[in-house]
């Protein structure tokens, strides 16, 4: 195995899709170290069925030290990860490509530019995570100065960030889920109105009663509800009581579920990465993606 071989290190289904898009864009096979979860396993099976250029797929828990040590180009799904910071500080990869980790793409770009601390937004960090952050940041910037750090993203970082990153040696490449669209089978017949589930209530960022009110208004009497992978059964049971709502569980990212849509869908979502990814995935179909407002919970508002 050559020292320049690439390895994708992913922790979520969206990161895994990003790895498949990167492999297609670079016309190379990519081995994958994927966190051992049911969602990643199901997503990997689906991507392989669609012809994703993956090499060996290795499930792991914690940090896949052995795999990382054998590859000097890492495709990293979560640049904010404390595990990535520790592994990067210890193993010091020669080349790094950052994939999308949901809606944190812009915040991570600002972190790379030194415009905000190297901490995950809205999270209080402590311990080893904070201790190794400067070491990981130093490595990333050294590699960027040598033109060995890239960002492969579906998100619009803005002209200012793009230019500032390029000036510091970071390579930026946008993608629009072209491989995902090209390889998608026909989407299931779900009907014209789709409501995307959210984990905001699970995270304590929205009261369940407010969430149910949003779902009810978004369905307008009849819609298919696609659950979020982190929704609780309690939340799903509450959604199921709403009139006109049909829950359709797939275990797959919505980007894969809807990529093969042949009709103009009316998609409703609360603020999340899908507000960026789905317009790209559904490009040319006439679909409309509507992003609703997330009201803060009573506890957060009072604070």
Beta-carbon neighbour count of residue 195 at 10 Å? 29
The predicted pLDDT at position 3 comes to: 45
**CATH value of 185-302 in 2.60.40, 3.60.70, 1.10.3470, 3.40.50:** 3.40.50
**CATH value of 6-181 in 1.20.120, 3.40.50, 3.20.20, 1.20.140:** 3.40.50
Contact 113, 165 (CB under 8 A): yes
Q: How many whole angstroms separate alpha carbon 168 and alpha carbon 33?
A: 29
| pLDDT above 90 coverage of the chain, percent | 84
Q: In the sheet that 288-291 helps form, which strands lie side by side, from edge to edge?
A: 245-247, 223-226, 193-196, 266-269, 288-291
Q: Which residues pair with 193 in a beta bridge?
A: 266
The predicted pLDDT at position 4 comes to: 53
Q: How many whole angstroms separate alpha carbon 220 and alpha carbon 210?
A: 16
- Condensed to tens digits (0 to 9), the pLDDT of residues 152-177 reads 999 999 999 999 999 999 999 999 99
- Average pLDDT score, the chain: 92
Q: How many whole angstroms separate alpha carbon 99 and alpha carbon 13?
A: 12
- Condensed to tens digits (0 to 9), the pLDDT of residues 206-243 reads 999 999 999 999 998 899 999 999 999 999 999 999 99
- Condensed to tens digits (0 to 9), the pLDDT of residues 112-145 reads 999 999 998 878 777 777 889 999 999 999 999 9
Q: What is the pTM of this model?
A: 0.92
Domains 6-181 and 185-302 share a fold: yes
Hey, where are the domains in the chain? 6-181, 185-302
Q: How many whole angstroms separate alpha carbon 172 and alpha carbon 178?
A: 17
Q: Which residues pair with 196 in a beta bridge?
A: 226
CA-based nearest residue to 214, from 268, 272, 261, 266:
268
Banded model confidence at residue 296, pLDDT cuts 50, 70, 90: low
- Count Cβ atoms within 10 A of the Cβ of residue 169 and give its class: 0-12 exposed, 13-18 middle, 19 or more buried: middle
- Condensed to tens digits (0 to 9), the pLDDT of residues 56-96 reads 999 999 999 999 999 999 999 999 999 999 999 999 999 99
- Condensed to tens digits (0 to 9), the pLDDT of residues 251-283 reads 999 999 999 998 899 999 999 999 999 999 999
| Res 295 pLDDT > 50 | yes
């Amino acid at each position: 195995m050559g020292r320049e071989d690439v390895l994708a290190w992913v922790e979520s289904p969206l990161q895994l899709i990003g790895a498949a898009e990167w492999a297609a864009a670079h016309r190379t096979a990519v081995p994958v170290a994927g966190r051992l979860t049911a969602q990643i396993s199901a997503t990997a099976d689906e991507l392989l069925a669609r012809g994703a250029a993956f090499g060996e797929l290795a499930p792991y828990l914690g940090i896949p030290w052995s795999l990382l040590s054998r590859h000097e180009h890492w495709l990293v799904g979560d640049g904010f990860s404390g595990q990535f910071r520790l592994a990067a500080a210890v193993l010091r990869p020669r080349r790094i490509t950052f994939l999308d980790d949901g809606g944190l793409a812009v915040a991570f770009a600002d972190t790379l530019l030194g415009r905000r601390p190297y901490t995950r937004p809205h999270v209080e960090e402590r311990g080893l995570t904070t201790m190794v952050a400067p070491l990981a940041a130093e490595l990333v910037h050294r590699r960027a100065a040598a033109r060995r750090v890239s960002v492969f993203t579906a998100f619009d970082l803005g002209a200012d960030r793009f230019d500032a990153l390029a000036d510091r040696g970071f390579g930026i490449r946008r993608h629009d889920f072209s491989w995902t669209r090209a390889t998608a089978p026909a989407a299931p017949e779900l009907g014209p109105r789709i409501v995307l589930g959210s984990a905001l209530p699970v995270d304590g960022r929205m009261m369940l009663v407010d969430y149910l009110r949003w779902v009810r208004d978004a369905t307008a009497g009849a819609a298919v509800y696609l659950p979020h992978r982190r929704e609780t059964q309690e939340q799903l049971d509450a959604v199921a009581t709403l009139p006109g709502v049909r829950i359709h569980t797939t275990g797959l990212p919505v980007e894969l579920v809807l990529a093969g849509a042949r009709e103009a869908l009316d998609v409703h979502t609360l603020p999340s990465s899908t507000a960026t990814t789905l317009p790209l995935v559904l490009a040319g179909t006439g679909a409309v993606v509507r992003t609703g407002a997330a009201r803060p919970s009573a506890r957060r508002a009072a604070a």
